Structure formats: structure tokens, C-alpha cells
Amino acid sequence: MKLFSSEKAGTTSVAAPALQKLTRKLPLPRRDSAEEMPLDGNPTYRDLQDRLQIPINTATPDQVESDAARERGLFLARQEMWEELEDLIRTHDQNRACTTAGTPLADLMIFGARSDVVRAAEHALLHGRPAKDSDFFSGIEALEYMLEDYPDSYALALIVAHMHIDIGWAWRGASAKEDLREINREAFQAHFDRAGDILERFCPKAHHSPALSAARCALLPGNPHPATRLSHEFENLIALDPQNPRHMRALGNYLLPRWYGDFEQLDLQARRVAAQTYDLWGAGGYTWVWFDALLVDPTGLEMLEIEYFLDGVHDILSRVKEQHVANLMAAHLFRSWQTARQQYYEDGLRQDLPPALRQGFDMVVREHLREIHPLIWGHAEIGFENTSRIISKERLALKGKEIALHAVAMPFLSGLQAGQTVYFTPEGITQINP
């Protein structure tokens, strides 16, 4: 049965009560379009670009691997090759297989497998009607019926559960705002409840599955008391997959005041995670927990122990020799430095922050950065992946390239202005005088 077919429409399903709840005719909201982010700073770097020779990588290994895994998941779902899809997801999950940037291959395949249904639902929510020739609810039904055929497969259950989580967020919106219409909140809760019912039968520890544990964390916004479960669920997830920093980054974001915590809790958890993962990351656990949170809410800079954070940056880069991570750190430190200059220069508070962040940024550029990954720099301006569905990748990469070239020129600005040419190569940086 194809994902958008109407077969089995007359059959009785154990999922029928939940599906009926989700089929109520609800008015569909429209989303606001994103505005272009302005680029601040001195534009003189434009005149010096010819003398700043650094490779621009627009097709990174991570992007290639991620696209391939998503496309494979999408293809297998469209062909209803469920056994093969299940085997690949489970194998990747058990092996903790990731892209070069640390994205779990299991997550990417799960995303690809549900993407047809989720895109159709998002189109309906955005435009107030389904896309031409598509009945997105038939896609939801088809995945639910598939799950009935494979009731013991946690890998396939993850596809259906994440489908409901994604559609729930499409109804609610990705911000933590509380001024939602009741009808949107009900739709959000109905989808999250269904996802919870699906996952309830599978224990992450029993299956030794980070993907299941991460899905339980993703369900927290639908819990009536998420704060009471947050630290426990994420500690379990990090224990199952301590080498993956994305779990630590997600924990920090959820501990922001706009979600379920405050900066004191965030700092405490960052220290606990650093201790929990010290053998793998050194001080890096502290940095990873604070990482996304600082860009989403820079007020956290007031609480941050900057020396500890920069020690974590150093420890991370000494353990992961990937340009993806070097770009992550450089883009983050540059953005945080610019924010700290604006927030703390005039009032005199935390005068230690701007120079410390500047020194950390210079260190990353000089010792670790060897090419520019434009998408990372573009995401850093808007809080990394938080709004990536709103702004096109092409537009974001163009903005990121402009920001990165401006930023990377700054440590060498006096030499460039004096006529030097700066060459970045895999072996290091060469500065040639005129």
C-alpha cells in the first residue's frame, strides 16, 4: 500500500480512536515569513577578500552523507521496503553510526522515511489546504497501518512517532510562546499523546537504543510536567550515547528560561554533564550544554564561566579534528563575541567577556580553521538549526559566506591592510608579505 493511497479505508484499526481524534476539522494557521538578518560590522574586509585565500566548502562530507541517508530512508518508505528500512535503522542505531558532523544515521533515515507525510501536512498548515493531488491524512493512516503490521519493531515505531511529533510542532510552532490558540494546542497535544502511546511499549535501555531515548526526550514538550523529567531523560540519553554532542546541546536549549529551566539549572547541568563525560570530552561537556543556549538567549553570558567554556572549546577541538567542528566553534565564538561587545561594553559588567571570546575566536581560526562551511555560519546568526525550515539553504549559505569571510579576516586585518596575502591550507596558514 502506497503512503497516499486510500486502501484499507474501511478496515478497523487499533489506532482508529487516536486517528479519529486527529481528524477533527480545525482551521489552519498561516506562518510568518522570516526577515533577512542584517550583517553588522566593518565592511572593509570586502576590499581585502582577494588577499584572504581560504577554501569555501559548500558540499561538505556531512551534507553529502546526510542527504544520502535521508534519501535512502525516503526511497525505502516510498517502495514500502519496510524490512530493509527497519534493519538499516536498527543497525545504525546500535552501532551509533553518525555522519562526520555527528548526526546519527538512524535519525536521518527516520526523517527521510516520514518526510513525505510531514511535508504534506506542513503544506496544508501553511497554505490552508493540502498540496495538489495529495491527501496528507491518508499518509498518516498508511504509516499507522504499517506499524500494525510490524508491532515489535522499535525502528519503524520511531518513524511513526516522529511523524506525529513533527506534525504536532507544525500546529504549535517551534517557539516556547504560551499565547497559542486552544485549537492549536489541542492538535499539538493529540499528536504528542499518540507519539507517546507508540513509544510506551519500547524501553530505550532494554533495546540499548539512543534513538528511542532521544525520542522520549523529544516528547517532553507534550508532558504536563516536563521539568520534572527533563534532567533524568537527558542523563539517560547521554549515558547511552556520550560521544554525540547533539544530546548535550538539546539539553541546554530546554533548560533555558523560555522552556523548562533557568540559567542556574543550566550551568549546574553543564557541570554535571562535563563530569559525566570527562573521559571522552574533558571540559567539553560544559561547552556543549551551553553551546546552543547562548545563541538562543545571550543573557546566559552573565552566568557563563568563560574560562571553563573556552577550556571546553580547546578540549573538543583537540579530540575532534573535523572542519565541521572547527567551523561550529569559530562561528559560535564570533557571534558570542559580537553580542558580548554590544551587551557589556557600555555598562561595564562582565568586561572580561569580549576580550576572552575574541581570544578564543582568534585561537580557533589560527590553529584549527582551514576552510569555511557557509551554512554553519549562516545558522549561527539565527541560533544554528532553530529556524532552518524558514530560510532557504541557498540564502543561508550566501549570508554565512559573507559573515565568515568578514570574521576570518579580522585576526589578520592589520597584515591584510598592509598588503599581506593570507593562505589557508590543510597544513596551516601562510602569510606572505607584498
Q: Please report the pLDDT score of residue 8 as a whole number.
A: 43
Q: Please report the pLDDT score of residue 133 as a whole number.
A: 52
Q: Please report the pLDDT score of residue 312 as a whole number.
A: 98
- pLDDT mean values, one per 10 residues, the chain (434 residues): 40 49 40 35 63 93 93 97 98 95 94 93 67 67 96 98 94 64 85 97 97 97 93 96 95 95 97 97 98 95 96 97 96 95 72 94 98 94 61 86 95 92 96 91
Q: Please report the pLDDT score of residue 183 as a whole number.
A: 76
CB-CB contact of 311 with 275 (8 Å): no
d(CA 166, CA 122): 9
Q: Please report the pLDDT score of residue 207 as a whole number.
A: 97
